[in-house]
């Protein structure tokens, strides 16, 4: 395992979360996508800062929680009548789920 990047199943956390984001069922508005990318970067920094980058269970938890976040964003989009994810769906999802490690 590389000392410079957290890994789970051979992929860095950032790459795994970005792949999850790309597989989202709904389109993601550009501003929302930028916010999600920043959220992923911050989560990766938090993972290293809290020293659980080598804990595979914590890395799986981060991926599971990101999927939960996207699922809640999709639910929020439905409530708001949106056909894509926006900053408001992200903010509402975070408000609903936080604290959710390592995103809040």
Residue 50 belongs to a domain: yes
Q: List the structure tokens of 94.
A: 């975070």
Residue 104 belongs to a domain: no
Range of the domain at 64: 27-97
Residue 13 belongs to a domain: no
- pLDDT (tens, 9 = 90+) of the chain, 104 residues, equals 333 333 434 468 888 899 999 999 899 999 999 999 999 999 988 887 776 667 788 888 999 999 999 999 999 999 999 999 999 999 999 999 999 989 98
Residue 22 belongs to a domain: no
Residue 92 belongs to a domain: yes
Residue 1 belongs to a domain: no
Q: How many domains does the chain have?
A: 1
Radius of gyration of the chain (CA): 14
Residue 38 belongs to a domain: yes
Residue 16 belongs to a domain: no
């Amino acid at each position: 395992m590389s000392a410079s990047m957290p890994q789970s199943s051979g992929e860095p956390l950032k790459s795994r979360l970005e792949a999850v984001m790309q597989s989202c069922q709904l389109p993601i508005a550009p501003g929302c996508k930028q916010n999600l990318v920043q959220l992923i970067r911050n989560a990766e920094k938090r993972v290293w800062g809290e020293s659980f980058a080598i804990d595979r269970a914590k890395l799986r938890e981060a991926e599971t929680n990101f999927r939960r976040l996207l699922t809640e964003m999709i639910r929020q989009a439905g409530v708001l009548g949106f056909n894509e994810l926006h900053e408001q769906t992200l903010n509402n999802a975070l408000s609903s789920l936080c604290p959710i490690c390592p995103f809040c």
